[in-house]
Amino acid sequence: MLALNETWYLVLAAMIFTIGAVGLLTRKNPLVMFMCVELMLNAVNLTFVTFSKALDDIAGQAIVFFVMVVAAAEVVVGLGIIVAIMRRRQGADADDISLMRG
């Protein structure tokens, strides 16, 4: 049986990141796009923790802590923006918000 080493975690994180990126590019509901951003952030967090274990360095986990804080702040402000947009235009999706298109 194959031994479980860091590469397994890193490959899994790469797959989750890819799924999140493709979802961000294809979905149009702003809420679902935010969820895909969360997926990508979690994949990166998993990579950080894996390297923290592999290189025996706690600083990787400290970085994950900061990523989580920034993700929470980002979600709060992003959902505030979405609520403000939806209040103005019911059922708007990402394609409708194109006023600033050049």
**Binders of other proteins in range 49-68 (CB under 8 A):** 49-59, 61-62, 64-66, 68
Task: State yes or no: residue 7 binds other proteins (CB under 8 A).
Answer: yes
Q: What are phi and psi of 2, to 5 degrees?
A: -70, 145
Total residues contacting other proteins by CB under 8 A comes to: 74
Task: State yes or no: residue 34 binds other proteins (CB under 8 A).
Answer: yes
Task: State yes or no: residue 28 binds other proteins (CB under 8 A).
Answer: yes
Q: Rank residues 58 and 100 by Cβ distance to other proteins and give the closer one.
A: 58
Query: Cα dihedral sign for 23, 83, 99, 70?
Result: negative
Distance in Å, CB of 97 to other proteins, minimum: 11
Q: What are phi and psi of 86, to 5 degrees?
A: -65, -30
| Six-digit token string for 67 | 């990523």
